[in-house]
């Protein structure tokens, strides 16, 4: 994080990335002094409502984040910035997105949690866009031209007002990660009476294990254990607000809908109270570790991995076999996970996989057979990307093996 004083004193000359959060109401003109070097500008968590018409003076600007501000429209000037390819305006008050505000070279567009009712009719001209996050808006439909976005790989449409499933998405050849729950066309949430309901006051939370967009996971023990569960469990307490993937209630619904599987973190019970929604799960043994890391600004939609991470081809084959069984299970339950990634995968020392995080999951039991088949094809495409990522972790010597060649035939690149 930088300061406005540093910027005004000229101490940031030559920086490539600038991050300012000081309740700004106006765009600081001193930013233009960085025009020869600035590539990433993060003005999130301020009180901005517009950008200067000469923003294009930042001739090297590739990435712009303005989340948690006061914008009511996506500024038209963005479309004039010839190098700008990643745009993030999450959690503003945006209701209007014009064609002029969208640079043709856009690869990453994040407009989550706004008030957008429609996209420009010519949205399909954004042929390079790979990542599109629109959850938590007021969209009633998508423009048919979106079929022109042939490089789209990740789309988030949950928690909108879509009256029908956007069939145009099924025509996209690379779409692999799709979330659409919480729209009027979606199946109703189930009560899942097959799972026990417990009182939150019966649980005592301890150390935090992890925190995501939809909630916080902690170790917990029982104050009162009415059903004889294990003494130590994991509890995910949902935040109760729209996230980058959708509504927490839909995450809980989808997680319980898929039920038990050898490669899923086992759900035990639910908490459903007026001021608290939570999921009680088996505690994952400490020797399980994350298989991958989330995508970066460079990789956009693809997972990242430590440079030193290498697996023998036999272990990769074992991992892929487990994920294949899991995807088949999802299809049988008519639930699209929507986030089939290595960074959502835990692995033990002996290669056993546990999978979780249903924040982007969507049920599709009520859709037509053709739509169901299309959604399952999208999910299997994610599996193909997963296989491709795994093969990137094997040794050069293993690439000449029959096992590698067999796996390569399943990969999507």
* Helix ranges, 259-391 (H): 313-332, 369-391
Query: CA-to-CA distance for 367 and 226, rounded, in angstroms?
Result: 39
Query: CA-to-CA distance for 95 and 117, rounded, in angstroms?
Result: 6
Query: CA-to-CA distance for 176 and 155, rounded, in angstroms?
Result: 8
Query: CA-to-CA distance for 330 and 410, rounded, in angstroms?
Result: 18
Query: CA-to-CA distance for 116 and 72, rounded, in angstroms?
Result: 9
Q: Is 236 annotated as a binding residue?
A: yes
DSSP letter (8 states) at residue 167: G
Q: What is the dihedral of CA 10, 11, 14, 19, to 10 degrees?
A: -100
- 10 Å Cβ neighbour count for 167? 14
Q: Give me the residues paired with residue 130 across strands.
A: none
Structure tokens at 67: 């989340």
Query: CA-to-CA distance for 202 and 219, rounded, in angstroms?
Result: 14
Closest to 354 (Cα-Cα) out of 325, 333, 381, 391: 325
Q: Enumerate the known binding-site residues for ATP.
A: 236
Q: Enumerate the known binding-site residues.
A: 236
């Amino acid at each position: 994080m930088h300061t406005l004083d540093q910027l005004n004193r000229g101490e940031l000359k030559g920086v490539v990335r600038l991050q300012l959060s000081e309740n700004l109401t106006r765009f600081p003109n001193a930013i233009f002094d960085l025009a020869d070097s600035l590539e990433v500008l993060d003005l999130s968590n301020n009180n901005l409502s517009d950008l200067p018409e000469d923003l294009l003076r930042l001739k090297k600007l590739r990435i712009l984040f303005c989340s948690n501000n006061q914008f009511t429209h996506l500024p038209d000037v963005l479309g004039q910035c010839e190098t700008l390819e990643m745009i993030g305006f999450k959690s503003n008050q945006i209701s209007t997105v014009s064609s002029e505000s969208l640079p043709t070279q856009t690869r990453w567009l994040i407009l989550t949690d706004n008030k957008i009712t429609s996209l420009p009719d010519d949205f399909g001209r954004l042929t390079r866009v790979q990542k599109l996050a629109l959850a938590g808006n007021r969209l009633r439909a998508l423009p048919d031209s979106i079929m022109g976005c042939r490089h789209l790989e990740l789309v988030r449409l949950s928690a909108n007002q879509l009256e029908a499933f956007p069939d145009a998405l099924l025509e996209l050849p690379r779409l692999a990660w799709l979330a659409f729950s919480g729209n009027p066309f979606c199946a109703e949430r189930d009560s899942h009476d097959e799972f026990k309901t417990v009182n939150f006051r019966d649980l005592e939370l301890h150390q935090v294990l992890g925190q995501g967009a939809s909630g916080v996971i902690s170790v917990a023990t029982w104050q009162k254990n009415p059903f004889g569960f294990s003494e130590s469990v994991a509890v995910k307490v949902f935040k109760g607000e729209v996230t980058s993937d959708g509504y927490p209630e839909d995450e809980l619904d989808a997680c319980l809908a898929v039920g038990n599987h050898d490669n899923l973190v086992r759900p035990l019970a639910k908490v459903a109270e007026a001021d608290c929604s939570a999921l009680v799960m088996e505690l994952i043994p400490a020797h399980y570790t994350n298989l991958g890391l989330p995508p970066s600004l460079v990789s956009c939609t693809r997972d990242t991995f430590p440079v030193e991470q290498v697996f023998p081809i036999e272990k990769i084959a074992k991992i892929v076999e487990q994920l294949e069984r899991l995807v088949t299970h999802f299809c049988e339950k008519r639930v699209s996970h929507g986030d089939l990634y290595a960074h959502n995968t835990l692995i033990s020392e002996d290669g056993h996989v546990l999978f979780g995080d249903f924040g982007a999951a969507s049920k599709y039991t009520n859709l037509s057979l053709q739509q169901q088949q299309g959604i399952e094809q999208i999910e299997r495409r994610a599996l193909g990307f997963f296989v491709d990522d795994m093969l990137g972790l094997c040794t050069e010597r293993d690439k000449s093996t029959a096992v590698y060649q067999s796996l390569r035939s399943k990969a999507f690149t």
